[in-house]
């Protein structure tokens, strides 16, 4: 019987996103949350970044799980491990890109809400 523990990576990423969504960090801190220079400008950027990235992380977790299951069924365990790892890293990097893009669309470079959004 094959070890299917690799299929737990996607649900784990989803769970982390769910925890971030239901228990977001209240204040900017050095340990917990979505931490980039833009997200840490102030409490507003911090809140928006953590809410947005948590949603994306949950989506990446679901997509990774589905992708790994399909690859596993078609090409087997080894292919699912490799392809799933690449898919997960790509998904998380894309989430980082999308979150930063969202922050720059919502806030100016100093972390103030853009005038057209008020």
| Domain range enclosing 90 | 5-117
Token output for 96: 């980082």
pTM above 0.85, yes or no: yes
* pLDDT(1) > 70: no
- What would the pLDDT profile of 14-42 be if each residue is shown by its tens digit? 999 999 999 999 999 989 999 999 999 99
Round to whole Å and give the CA distance between 33 and 42: 14
Q: Which of 3-7, 30-34, 47-51, 85-89 has the lowest mean pLDDT?
A: 3-7
Per the structure, the count of domains in the chain is 1
CB 44 within 8 A of CB 85: no
């Amino acid at each position: 019987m094959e070890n299917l523990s690799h299929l737990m990576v996607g649900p784990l990423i989803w769970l982390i996103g769910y925890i971030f969504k239901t228990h977001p960090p209240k204040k900017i801190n050095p340990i917990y949350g979505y931490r980039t220079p833009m997200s840490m400008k102030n409490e507003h950027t911090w809140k928006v970044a953590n809410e947005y990235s948590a949603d994306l992380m949950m989506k990446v977790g679901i997509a990774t799980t589905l992708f790994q299951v399909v690859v596993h069924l078609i090409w087997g365990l080894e292919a699912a491990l490799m392809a799933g790892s690449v898919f997960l890293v790509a998904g998380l990097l894309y989430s980082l890109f999308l979150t930063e893009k969202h922050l720059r669309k919502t806030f100016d470079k100093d972390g103030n809400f853009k005038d057209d959004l008020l």
